[in-house]
Amino acid sequence: MVSLEDKMLVAQNCTEYETKDHIKILNMSYMSENCNYCINYKDGACSKNLFEKIDEVVKIN
């Protein structure tokens, strides 16, 4: 299972990240962006197959 921390790091480094609901996210300013709130993250996976690639790069650095 992917941790919330991993999802946050990937979302912060993803050029394709786009929130599902901008107003909802703005109201939740205390929370960092993460894959769960991205329009491309469906059924627990990135529909653009970017999660694993970005996760690898983030973990190397």
Q: Which backbone phi and psi does 38 adopt, to 5 degrees?
A: -90, 140
Residue-level pLDDT at 61? 75
Residue-level pLDDT at 60? 92
Residue-level pLDDT at 22? 63
Q: Number of structural domains, the chain?
A: 1
Let me know: does 20 contact 38? Beta carbons within 8 Å: yes
SS (H, E, C) the chain: CCCHHHHHHHHHCCCCCCECCHHHHHHCCCCCCCHHHECCEECCEECCCCHHHHHHHHHHC
pLDDT digits (tens, 9 = 90+) for 1-59: 789 999 999 999 999 999 887 655 555 555 678 999 999 999 999 999 999 999 999 99
pTM of the predicted model as reported, rounded to 2 decimal places: 0.79
Domain extent, residue 17, equals 4-60
